[in-house]
Amino acid sequence: MSAAFEVEDLSLRLGGIALAGIGLRIERGECLVILGPNGAGKSVLLESIAGFRRIETGQVVLGGRDITALAPERRRIAFMFQDFALFPHLSVVENVCFGAGTAGEARVERLLGRFGIAALRDRLPYHLSGGEKQRVALARALATEPALLLLDEPSSALDARARDQLHDDLRDLLAETGVPMIYVTHDRVEALTLADRIAVMRGGRLVQQGRPEDVIHKPSSAFVADFVGMETMLRGRISSREGELALVACGPLALRAPAGRASPGEEVFACARPENVRLLPPVAASAGANRFAAHVEALLDHGPYVRVRLRAGEQAVVAFVPKHDPALGALGAGSLAQVAIAPEHVHLVAAS
């Protein structure tokens, strides 16, 4: 059975950006988030899917139909740009009506009501807030009844409240319409909020794809680990295996972790997410695997938790500590803490 949307072996060179061997598959009602740093080629990939860029090799298939050679206006793909790209000389209702035609008047009215912008119908974009522009752009995109929705970092210029509203609107739209969407961002928190699947992009290639929990907790490389927030990355070497666990020597530190395919002698990073790093008071000191002493460098307020930066010799460690955790009372810049990371929360990636 064919997917709602597929890209096969897409390649393209545009200036200093080269897309190579891109393959994607999206089901109906699914949100694929493409995550990657600036310059990775995310926007160029969306533009290629929309037909704004001519690809050199590959195939683009929408609803079982090959649309590779079709002009953008014949693809049934809606594109929501980073700056929303509203027509400045057209009112809200005229922007939403654009492309829908007279047969879409009832649909336009429904969309104005759906996004709470009916009262703004006669305003020009200049008189709209960022959140209002975002809702007008979404309504305009859906007025054409697209078979695929592409969104290129649409929340980058929004405040936190408008960003949350955008995320709520998109999740509701997926449930209501089933229209698949591809959402581009470099924000891993946003990716986790929206994604049914995540694809990580680097240098014009997709370096990992999968369910959010797999990409976030089981990154395939040091690059992905760092990008998705594995803030503790202890460099070391596997000294031995004990069944399904590997013993990793990270300088003077010793860690146990699920071995996977790792072999003794292999250089690795032992990675852990900050929410899985526990801090204990110094009186709990007892050397051993997955517990070691570290000096506190800084404590940073992050709302419901405190981000604690530590150093164990040459190794950097980061922990998220809930504000209600009693361990916080004994911590301060320069103080000594005991770090504990459960073996199941350590993930190994090759250091090369």
User: pTM for the whole thing?
Assistant: 0.89
Q: What is the pLDDT of residue 101?
A: 65
Share of the chain above pLDDT 90, in %: 64
Q: What is the pLDDT of residue 284?
A: 54
d(CA 229, CA 189): 9
Please, which residues have CB within 8 angstroms of residue 301's CB and are 6 or more apart in sequence?
A: 307
Q: Which of 352, 314, 315, 36 is nearest to 222 (CA)?
A: 352
> Do residues 219 and 209 lie in contact, with contact meaning Cβ atoms separated by under 8 Å?
no
Phi, psi (rounded to 5 degrees) for 228? -90, 5
d(CA 20, CA 153): 22
What are the tens digits of pLDDT across the range 23-63? 999 999 999 999 999 889 999 999 999 999 999 999 999 99
Mean pLDDT (the chain, rounded): 90
Band of residue 114 on the pLDDT scale cut at 50, 70, 90? confident
Q: Any idea which residue has 């690059």 for tokens?
A: 223
Q: Any idea which residue has 């004990």 for tokens?
A: 242
Q: How many other CB atoms are there within 10 angstroms of residue 149's CB atom?
A: 22
Tell me the H-state helices in 7-116: 42-50, 92-97, 105-114
Average pLDDT over residues 210-237: 94
Please, which residues have CB within 8 angstroms of residue 201's CB and are 6 or more apart in sequence?
A: 34, 35, 36, 40, 41, 42, 45, 207
Q: Any idea which residue has 């694929």 for tokens?
A: 32
Amino acid at 25: R
**For the chain, which domains are there?**
5-222 (3.40.50.300), 231-350 (2.40.50.100)
What are the tens digits of pLDDT across the range 300-310? 998 899 999 99
What are the tens digits of pLDDT across the range 223-235? 999 999 999 999 9
Q: What is the pLDDT of residue 328?
A: 83
Question: Would the pLDDT of 285 be above 60?
Answer: no
- What is the torsional sign of CA 189, 193, 194, 197? positive
Q: What is the pLDDT of residue 158?
A: 79
Question: Would the pLDDT of 131 be above 90?
Answer: no
- Which helix or strand (DSSP H or E) is residue 204 part of? none
Q: What is the pLDDT of residue 230?
A: 94
The encoded tokens of residue 115 equal 């996004």
Q: How many other CB atoms are there within 10 angstroms of residue 309's CB atom?
A: 18
Band of residue 102 on the pLDDT scale cut at 50, 70, 90? low
